[in-house]
Structure 1
Amino acid sequence: MAGTEKKLLTELHESGIYDFPNSLTFFIDPVRILNRNYTQFRVSPSSYYSRFFTSNFTIDELPEHKQENEESFRVSASLGKRKRNQKKKKNQQCYSLNEKELLADQRHQEIRPLLVKAHEELLRAKELLDVICELNCEIDGWERCVDLNSGGINEEDEISFIELGKVWQAPLYEIALDYTQASKQVQVNGGSLDTQHIDQRLLPLFNNLVSNETNYDMVAEFQTSQYILPKDSCFYMSELEQIHTLVPANLECGFNFIMVDPPWENRSAYQKSKYPTLPNRHFLSLPIKQLTHTSGALVALWVTNREKLRKFVENELFPAWGVRYAATLYWLKVKADGSLICDLDLFHHRPYECLLLGYTGKPVTDSELTATAKSLKDQVVMTIPGDYSRKPPVGGISILLFAASTENLLDLLLEYVPGPRPARCIELFAREMMAGWTSWGNEPLHFQDRRYFSRKITENCTNYREL
């Protein structure tokens, strides 16, 4: 078993995916997967894993005069938590669930064994747990693009593209694409280097398809900020009303993998003012059918666990889009020590989210759909969460297949995508970019800010810390 786990850890090191044997369960490292998109930059582990990592200090490392206070605080906090849990249980015993809550709890109880089994497998993989607890460590030979002494990334200093897109000057804003680095790379491969070569192009920022068609990272500049565009990627930044601009004139140029992460109405997003939400009815107008390739498309939709939302998707949204449900991918969120981010049965805050998978367009017959649905089964993906509402790049795993040198490299979703290869992929309501994808939304550059990345500081260094 030790040899098997070592092999699986090697695969995690190379691909970012740990496949539990004889199971539909995976642990993935989003940072490793995302970094397959880049050549000169890397997503910074410490910026991605900004939550759910505990402090490294122990009580013995505190000054003596503070140890007693620290210990008293921990005991007090423990007692307070115990009292709150007892009060919560008492309230739950006195509270009767309504009809929708009963349906939500029934749905939870049906998939609970699958989630429990997945988590138990993670806790048994001791060597994997040792690796997980160090995932936020910076990579040797790379340094953060933000000054660590300044306290890290200050979200208040980030540009609000949502607000800028609403002002009358929006059509006048331009983004500068720096082709200098790409030119240098081409010349290096050709045997010469012209450090004076500068090529910068200005393009409209809003309501315009901005592309990096090179095989290298591209730095884009807007106002006082820089953004890293991964190789072979493009984005279209606009409000919902302009999304029809992306509909191709010829469906042969349509998309066969469509990822959707809508800004569902929810109290948490509103209270934290993280992003504006939209009523459910607005998503009925998404042109999923018109974006679909003639061979059909796999549609992946992120949803919360609210029963009202699930019923809306099943009864209204998927029928309006022409999507036939096939399976669900469950994203189970864990901390650095392998524990769940909260109790599995916590009613109003489950430690998992759902990615609903379905097909639109072809297959055209019920028998074809049944055969496809049987092959696409429910799966569990475990990760340590990144920033608020930042989803793991399960769609980005598709790039691993094309870059693979081994035949057995894992892939979660691409093998189920109908139509041509390489797959034509689009993400709607995107907040970051991936190589080979079109990213649409009103802030697709949010996580492309250079401050979320690391840069190379030595000529000779490995991409990742040895596992």
Structure 2
Amino acid sequence: MNRGQGAAENHYPTMSIQEICRLPVAELAAKDCALFLWVTFPQLQDAMKLFEAWGFTYKTLGFAWVKQNKSGKGFFFWMGYWTRSNVEICLLGIKGHPKRISKSISQLIISPLEQHSKKPDEVRKRIVELFGELPRIELFARQKTSGWDVWGNEVEGSASSRILENAGKGDGNRGICISTQRFDKGKK
């Protein structure tokens, strides 16, 4: 289904929410773990299903990204269903009792758009400030980031690219997951 140039499936393969819910994140996540989940507003209900399927409890908004245009001199506005959209949110869920080490982390991030679906690097920095040097994995990663395991079809040569395929084999526990949503509301 082609829903315009911005539609995710025009840029990369997508999965249905049911397929994403079946990823073995629940068995790979550490006993005390935080999950940061990028979601668009029309997909909030699916995000709550995902938290539950993966064994996490939704807690709050982790980050709100106010998107600037690529020049950084104005704001970017997309079409939206009812109002013209700009903000993309990253929800925070937990499993167990992860410990935060900083109380100074702000939710608000104002930064320019880059390539389609790429999230601001600032988010990863703030997650590390919030929870410290714990094992971390980014699901559906677009790039390798120092200090993070990555999994996704756009990340080449990562030894950790087999983490999810080898669920339950070896030490899969990770302290923090960050997922960039790659589900298509139209797929059932």
TM-score, normalised with respect to structure 2: 0.67
| Structure 2 counterpart of 1:438, from 131, 138, 149 | 149
Shift of 1:415: 4.1
Change (3 A) 1:383 1:271: closer
* Mapped partners of 1:300, 1:330: distance in 2: 12
Change (3 A) 1:291 1:337: closer
Shift of 1:338: 3.1
Query: Where do residues 33-112 of structure 1 align in structure 2 (5 Å cutoff)?
Result: none
* Mapped partners of 1:376, 1:290: distance in 2: 31
Is 1:416 the counterpart of 2:130? The answer is: yes
Change (3 A) 1:377 1:432: closer
Shift of 1:414: 2.5
Structure 2 unpaired stretches of 5+? 158-188
* Mapped partners of 1:381, 1:436: distance in 2: 21
Native 8 Å contact 1:298 1:416 kept in 2: no
Is 1:300 the counterpart of 2:36? The answer is: yes
* Mapped partners of 2:10, 2:78: distance in 1: 25
Q: Which position in structure 2 is the counterpart of 1:321?
A: 54
- SS in structure 1 opposite 2:26? helix
Native 8 Å contact 1:331 1:381 kept in 2: yes
* Mapped partners of 2:67, 2:113: distance in 1: 6
Shift of 1:394: 3.3
Q: Which position in structure 2 is the counterpart of 1:360?
A: 95
Task: Point out 4+ residue stretches in structure 1 off by more than 6 angstroms.
Answer: 343-346
Q: What is the identity, as a one-letter code, of the residue corresponding to 2:13?
A: P
* Mapped partners of 2:87, 2:45: distance in 1: 18
Higher fraction of strand:
2
Shift of 1:359: 0.8
* Larger-gyration structure (1/2): 1
Q: What is the identity, as a one-letter code, of the residue corresponding to 1:299?
A: L
TM-score, normalised with respect to structure 1: 0.29
Structure 1 unpaired stretches of 5+? 1-264, 398-411, 447-467
Is 1:334 the counterpart of 2:68? The answer is: yes
Q: Deviations over 1:352-382 (max 9, x none)?
A: 211111111335xxxx9xxx7xx69871101
Change (3 A) 1:380 1:322: same
Change (3 A) 1:304 1:376: farther
Q: Determine which structure has greater relative contact order: mean sequence separation of CA pairs < 8 Å that are 6+ residues apart, divided by chain length.
A: 2
The Cα RMSD (Å) is 3.2
Query: Where do residues 233-252 of structure 1 align in structure 2 (5 Å cutoff)?
Result: none
Shift of 1:330: 0.6
Change (3 A) 1:333 1:270: closer
Native 8 Å contact 1:425 1:437 kept in 2: yes
Identity over aligned residues, as a percent? 28
Q: Which position in structure 2 is the counterpart of 1:180?
A: none
Q: What is the identity, as a one-letter code, of the residue corresponding to 1:312?
A: D
* Mapped partners of 2:50, 2:59: distance in 1: 15
Higher fraction of helix:
1
* Mapped partners of 2:111, 2:151: distance in 1: 25
Q: Which position in structure 1 is the counterpart of 2:181?
A: none
Q: What is the identity, as a one-letter code, of the residue corresponding to 1:381?
A: I
* Mapped partners of 2:110, 2:90: distance in 1: 13
| Structure 1 counterpart of 2:112, from 377, 384, 387 | 384
Q: What is the identity, as a one-letter code, of the residue corresponding to 1:437?
A: W
* Mapped partners of 1:337, 1:393: distance in 2: 15
Query: Where do residues 49-448 of structure 1 align in structure 2 (5 Å cutoff)?
Result: 267-268=3-4, 270=7, 273-294=10-31, 296-306=32-42, 309-314=43-48, 316-328=49-61, 329-335=63-69, 336=71, 338-342=73-77, 347=82, 349-362=84-97, 379-397=107-125, 412-417=126-131, 422-445=133-156
Change (3 A) 1:330 1:432: same
* Mapped partners of 1:345, 1:359: distance in 2: 30
